[in-house]
Amino acid sequence: MKKITLSIAAVAVIAIGIFSFKQVNEKKRGNAARRPNIVFIMSDDHAYQAISAYDTRLTQTPNIDRIAKEGMLFTNACVTNSICAPSRAVILTGKHSHLNGKIDNYFPFDTTNITFPQLLQKSGYQTAMFGKLHFGNNPKGFDEFQILPDQGDYYNPDIITKKAGKKKLMGYVTDLITDITLNWLQNERDPEKPFFLAYLHKAPHREWLPAERHYKEFISKKFPEPATLFDNYEGRGRASKEQEMNLLTHMNWAGDSKIFPENMDKLGIKESHAYDKRNYTYTVGRMNPDQRKTWDETYGKMNEEFIKNYPSMTEKDKMKWRYQRYMQDYLGCIASVDEGVGKVLDFLKKNNLDENTIVVYTSDQGFYLGEHGWFDKRFIFDESFKTPLLVKWPGVIKAGSKNSQMVQNLDFAQTFLEAAGVKSPSDMQGESLIPIFKGKGKNFRDAAYYHYYEYPSVHMVKRHYGIITEKYKLVHFYYDVDEWELYDRVNDKNEMKNVYNDPKYASVKKELHQKLAALRVKYKDSETLDKMYIEKYKELEAKGKIFR
């Protein structure tokens, strides 16, 4: 009788095992057929030059690189307007700045716009946003969000939550955003729903405060200088000559280079904005005593060395020194971003989510890392116009592939909607990247349109619009100046020579003027709108709402 009982038990165990095995396999097949999850990772001001999948000369980003190794690296991805909040508005709406209303960091976002997260949410996606939005405190279309107010702080930041209002967190901002993201994936995500997750870093935005573990490491590193660090802008127009983005003359000494305010006084350094010392005091004032002690000890040693050398430094020496200080902090901030990306990728893999998840890594625009002697962004020139874009989607995108076509942040909304099987609104202006993902997107876009508005304001980059093809770039600087510039992107990769008046480029110039006019019509931009936004900007300026 005992043997019979065991046999029945054994059969039961075997049956249960077979049933469970079938369930697991059916679940896997179901996962493959389900709409994909989307993890959209964006950092603020992360230059493509500072990702080792693009360039290994400055730093290593092994985790971000994993996305390219398992997916596609875009080498000609670009933005429509190289400045933080407008870029984010373009991404959310799939519409150019002049239509979504967020032309710069001052103008309000038109909240009547429909954003792609709203459409994903309506179609059954669970949606969440964590990190830096940069405009507005109540993003539409998200089941859950925890966002930094405005720019946010690197140390012990405040955070705005959907369910609990504003609160202060203790720790380093990049690590905190990663922890919040992982907690949602682990504990708050509904496994029965596809999800859209926006994982948005503040870093490496100015004023570049790395985590303790990284500033201790990076402060002693040395980095190769860009070939154009000492550019004198010969052969180019007023816009390049009259900007206020120079490392030596326009960077803050306290906030940017971490020279303690008392040491600026001691050395007689006055070339800094009036708010610099106040801002530095506020920033380090957020640190707790232990954080501040380590900060002061580490940066104090750098200050001591600087005080000793400063009196004998030439202008060239100062420029070289400021470049190294810039890179040490900027790249130190990126190190923690890369660590966080690795943790999220590891979670997806460990929990069998990676096979049915699109993972995107990008930035809101590019950034100058000393090229042309500059920091910041704004210009149509490549370092700010181009943006990193790495995408993986197992089973759709071939691992290790590259693409050089002119894709834009304008395209993200329609890409995500098509991937989710959701129809895009007719007023979106981008193109879905799905054909490119599948290796079928030949002749995707022969030219991109760009328009920058925020002038006169911080960094004093003049208003301009232009057309960019894979070979050429035609630009019109149109306010406070009326100048055209033409660059040969193939033979002048550093964009050092304006060939607009060179007879050899006469036919190219004529063709680009025609194409630019057509693009202005296609995207519903016009001289009338240019004038309207200038007048509205003057009204804000008269009210003292423009920062310089």
Query: Mean pLDDT over residues 97-107, rounded?
Result: 96
Q: Which CATH superfamily is domain 35-208+327-542 in?
A: Alkaline Phosphatase, subunit A (3.40.720.10)
pLDDT at 210 over 60: yes
Structure confidence at residue 337 (pLDDT): 99
Q: How confident is the model at residue 28 (pLDDT cuts 50, 70, 90)?
A: very low
Q: Confidence band (pLDDT; 50, 70, 90) for 274?
A: confident
422-426 contacts at long range (C-beta below 8 A, 24 or more positions apart): 422/119, 422/120, 422/123, 424/94, 425/94, 425/114, 425/119
Helix (H, G, I), strand (E, B) or coil at 339: helix
What pLDDT, in 10s, does the model give residues 352-410? 999 999 999 999 999 999 999 999 999 999 999 999 999 999 999 999 999 999 999 99
Burial 118-157 (b: 16+ CB within 10 A, else e): bbbbeeebbbbbbbbbbbbeebebbbbbbbbebbbbbbbb
Reported confidence tier of residue 346, pLDDT bands at 50, 70, 90 = very high
Reported as a single tens digit per residue, the pLDDT across 489-503 is 999 999 999 999 999
How far lies 154's CA from each of 336, 498, 525, in Å?
12, 40, 37
Domain boundaries, the chain: 35-208+327-542
At 339, the pLDDT band (50, 70, 90 cuts) reads: very high
**Residue 27 scores a pLDDT above 70:** no
Summarised one tens digit per residue, pLDDT across range 255-271 is 999 999 999 999 999 87
Separation between Cα atoms, residue 484 and residue 474, nearest integer Å: 7
41 three-class SS:
strand
Average pLDDT, the chain: 93
In this structure, what DSSP letter does residue 187 have? I
C-beta of residue 134 within 8 angstroms of C-beta of residue 85: yes
| pLDDT at residue 31 is higher than 70 | no
**pTM of the entire structure?**
0.93
The pair phi, psi for residue 416, each rounded to 5°, is -65, -40
Q: Which pLDDT value is given to residue 152?
A: 96
* Cα diameter, the chain: 103
Q: Can you name the residues that pair with 146 across neighbouring β-strands?
A: 130, 161
* Rounded Cα–Cα distance for residues 141 and 114 (Å): 9
Q: What is the pLDDT of residues 166-203, one digit of tens each?
A: 999 999 999 999 999 999 999 999 999 999 999 999 99
